Amino acid sequence: MVPLAFTVGYSGKRLDGFLEVLREAKIEIVVDVRELPLSRAKGFSKTPLRAALATAGIEYLHLRAAGNPYRDQKSDIRTCLALYANHLDQHPGVLDEVDRAIAGRRAALLCVESAACDCHRSVLTDRLLRKHPGRSVEHL
């Protein structure tokens, strides 16, 4: 069974290796769930990332609404993720938007953290799995 979604973090990765991971997983679209798609890591800001993905035949979509407005709370990851979960409770349309973006495609939710459990994308995927019981999420 194809997973409902994949997730991927780019921390500690070089762009070429990152693209290879996506190609190996046969990802069709990268859904960028960073509120601000900027990075100090070469190639991972929105414009160069979109270009690199296009060259690799992978679509790019930035969903600002799915970003974590509490990322400045990263020193306390539990609080940060709890605030984000509350944010989703108050803005249920965000989850619907993510669900529509990944529907029927091999999609990867992108953020910076390499470990999904330390990232708001884990909250997103937990909520998506509640909507789609019996499905799975794979962390690349």
Helix (H) or strand (E) holding 7: strand 5-9
Torsion angles phi and psi, residue 39, rounded to 5: -150, 145
Measured between its terminal Cα atoms, the distance across the chain in Å is: 16
All structural domains of the chain with their residue ranges: 5-139
Q: Which option is the CATH number for 5-139: 2.30.29, 2.40.10, 3.90.190, 3.30.70?
A: 3.90.190
Inform me whether the pLDDT recorded for 69 exceeds 70: yes
Give me the amino acid identity at 132.
Answer: H
Two structure tokens written together for 114 = 């390499």
Strand ranges for 71-117 from DSSP E:
107-111
pLDDT of residue 23: 97
113, 124 contact by CB (below 8 A) = no
Query: What's this model's pTM, rounded to 2 decimal places?
Result: 0.93
Inform me whether the pLDDT recorded for 74 exceeds 80: no
More confident residue, 67 or 73: 67
Question: Binning pLDDT at 50, 70 and 90, where does residue 91 land?
Answer: very high
Give which of 111, 99, 91, 103 is closest to 46, Cα–Cα: 111
pLDDT of residue 54: 98
Inform me whether the pLDDT recorded for 68 exceeds 80: yes
pLDDT of residue 59: 98
* Average pLDDT of span 69-73: 74
What is the C-alpha separation between 79 and 109, in angstroms, rounded? 21
Inform me whether the pLDDT recorded for 3 exceeds 90: no
Two structure tokens written together for 68 = 């974590």
